[in-house]
Structure 1
């Protein structure tokens, strides 16, 4: 019996790429992001999602709400396990300002070794998201679960599944409103799909099987 986890990055906010939103609670989706979320929700409506879990941030809750509405689900569960990285003193700063900080540059080259100032390490992030996946597989095995989160959180889980160092984070992209998928069976995890615009997962699984 396998459990499928759809790893959904939130849709775009208006200042994406300009500043580190981090755990700034009131950053909503922009107009383009709301349209992204609607398209994402429409594509996922036929996937048979049984439950949705989301980060507490507003941009993730709005994305999760769109998916839930399209999928006919009345409830979305908020969990801190999917929260954005705690960037501590870096949260809310512009990337222009951050690039002058030597610790920020070190963070981006050695995430396996550096802690955000007054914040988390990427191992902290990876531990909480992998523990959530393990708990949800045990609780809701055999279902399809959407986890709506943030790029670095999703990347930490993908690195775990693939046996990669956390320093491998720049080697793949997790775009706004993208979907990646991991399947779990008795605790074993396998990456099914990475950074896609919500294709039909049954079709994806069929293609992967055909290529073996």
Structure 2
């Protein structure tokens, strides 16, 4: 069984440099809508048999063009929802980077619990359980291999990939998952195999931006998302103004 993990496209929170978390009504930007159409064009010819998404609007907007092209009705899976960032929700990243918890999120993710929210270890547990359970259910239902897609959020996808790689959650910040990127995991009876990570097709613009940062301060991931040169520029991602975390 093979699952395509799709991160939603660029959202309004990405460009506002805030941590959207589970805030309702956070929609895609024009760039995000373009990405959603590009995903549909790129994946529309594949034999995808199920499309599942986080209940948040930005994920629904991202999968809608693809689901329409495939003739499928997207299913909602609450277990794929964004991290509950609790009191951090809605705050600017330039403020959050000053919090003591920030360094814990970067270096000891398994011990990070957001005030009034959930811990990253909890996020991994629920997300991995949901992906594996749905994978088993599809295998039992169809009696054969099935290609399906799950649309979720940066930290959620990274935690699932860490599990598939067999690495500790404390290392998951080393995985980069950009908006509208796909990562692919094939689950077998013995072990999962990672086929793709952060695949954005022919768009390599992020590489040029990374090269331009040589000599700057080493960058760190922001909660929920990519690597960036501190949170003062585009929610922690100086490489791409539209590449935010949730």
Superposed CA offset, 1:97-121 (max 9, x none): 1112112332222111121111111
TM normalised by structure 1 equals: 0.88
Q: Which runs of 5+ in 1 are unaligned?
A: 200-212
Where does 1:87-166 land on structure 2 (aligned, <5 Å)? 87-141=85-139, 142-166=145-169
Structure number with the bigger relative contact order (C-alpha 8 A, sep ≥ 6) is 1
Residues 112, 121 of structure 1: 8 Å contact kept: yes
What is the alpha-carbon distance in structure 2 between the residues aligned to residue 127 and residue 14 of structure 1? 28
Determine the structure 1 residue equivalent to 2:40: 41
In the alignment, what sits opposite 1:202? none
User: Any runs of at least 4 consecutive aligned residues in structure 1 with deviations exceeding 6 A, and if so which?
Assistant: none
Q: Which residue of 1 aligns with 2:83?
A: 85
| Structure 2 CA distance for aligned equivalents of residues 89 and 15 of structure 1 | 16
Whether the aligned pair in 2 keeps the contact of 1:9 and 1:179 (CA below 8 Å) is: yes
**Which stretch has the larger CA shift, 114-123 or 164-173?**
164-173
Superposition pairs for residues 179-198 of structure 1, below 5 Å? 179-186=182-189, 188-197=191-200
Distance in 2, matches of 1:138 and 1:169, equals: 25
Measured in 2, the distance between the counterparts of 1:170 and 1:115 equals 15
Q: For residues 33-92 of structure 1, give each alpha carbon's deviation from its aligned partner in whole angstroms, at most 9, with x where no partner exists.
A: 00011001110101111001100111001112122012221x111111100011111011
In structure 2, the residue matched to 1:207 is: none
* C-alpha distance in structure 2 between counterparts of 1:76 and 1:15, whole Å: 23
1:170 maps to which residue? 173
Q: Give, in whole Å, the separation in 2 of the partners of 1:172 and 1:104.
A: 17
Query: If the length of structure 2 is used for normalisation, what is the TM-score?
Result: 0.76
Q: Which residue of 2 aligns with 1:63?
A: 62
Extract unaligned runs of 5+ from structure 2: 140-144, 203-246
| Distance (Å, rounded) in 2 between the aligned partners of 1:15 and 1:24 | 10
Superposition pairs for residues 18-29 of structure 1, below 5 Å? 18-29=17-28
In 1, distance between residues paired with 2:108 and 2:129?
Answer: 23
Report if the CA contact (8 A) 1:44-1:71 is conserved.
no
Q: In the comparison of the two structures, how many residue pairs are matched?
A: 196
Distance 1:102 1:132 in 2: 31
